[in-house]
Chain A
Amino acid sequence: MTTAQELAVQPKKELASKDEKTVPARYFVPSTDIYETEDALTLVMEIPGVEKQDISVNLENDVLQVEAKIDFAKYEGLEPVYAEYNVGHFARSFALSNKIDQNGISADLKDGVLTLTLKKAKQAVARRIAVG
């Protein structure tokens, strides 16, 4: 349904972090879609150019932190002549409600798209009550 429209350029948003990094690096906020189904909450984020092993997903105090790093070694020997987008790592964090089952988080990376599936806790799944 959405395929007919022409794509516009979405400028990358640089991460304004509360805590500063100790090494000079640019961090960008990855575009993220969040959707909910009956039993899970799913986060889909775009992190192009990141290898599987360079992703860290951390859950602490109901805050889900995702950090994805670019391997700059790939750019060695390349001389930039024309630049339209900036290159950097990706980082973003989300505050989760306690409805999430903290042990039931799974992650999957495909073609630069990271999908995090957060299972809802048992008591948060809506239960159908039959009228006796």
Chain B
Amino acid sequence: MLLSDAFESLFNFQKALDSFRASNWLDSSLSSGGPYPPVNVFRKGDDFVVLMELPGMNKADLDIRVKGKTIHIAGTKSADYAATASVHRRERLAGRFDRAVTVPVEIDAEKVNAEYSNGMLALFLPRAERDKPRLIKVA
């Protein structure tokens, strides 16, 4: 099954936009910091969920910080083998990364939840209470 039509069309739309304005200028992407890891951002009611694929990480090597509307993810990914092994094929990437993602709402830093399982990092970013729209009753 495909993820969802909505996801598929969004992905293709963004790819088309990106290729339209593509230039190799500093090889950077929309947000600040490096472009790795690629993120998918979802909305769940008022809150945001940021997912990224980071296989083979050590939880202790992840550094996640939140401030205001921005979440900052840094870490080191390694793929090392015993020195006695002779490597036939090397496709997995290793190195450090540093990325900042900005969401359009104020995040409640106290309630941010990060989960790392099966090589996926999921960040649950609840919208700060003070940022939510208030219902005004006409007196």
Which residues of A are in contact with B by a Cβ distance under 8 Å?
2-10, 23-26, 31-38, 42, 44, 46-51, 72, 75, 77-88, 109-113
Please tell me which one of the listed residues A46, A47, A51, A80 contacts residue B10 in the complex, with CB atoms under 8 A apart: A80
Determine if B2 and A51 form an interchain contact, defined as CB atoms under 8 angstroms apart. no
Determine if B88 and A36 form an interchain contact, defined as CB atoms under 8 angstroms apart. yes
Determine if B40 and A82 form an interchain contact, defined as CB atoms under 8 angstroms apart. yes
- A75's nearest neighbour on chain B, judged by CB, is B3
Chosen A-B contacts, 29 in total, with CB atoms closer than 8 Å, are A3-B76, A5-B96, A6-B97, A7-B34, A7-B93, A8-B36, A9-B35, A24-B1, A25-B2, A26-B2, A33-B90, A35-B85, A38-B84, A42-B81, A44-B79, A49-B119, A75-B42, A80-B10, A81-B10, A81-B48, A84-B38, A85-B39, A85-B53, A86-B11, A87-B3, A111-B57, A112-B118, A112-B120, A113-B119
Which residues of B are in contact with A by a Cβ distance under 8 Å?
1-4, 6-7, 10-11, 14, 27, 29, 34-44, 48-49, 53-57, 76-82, 84-98, 116, 118-120
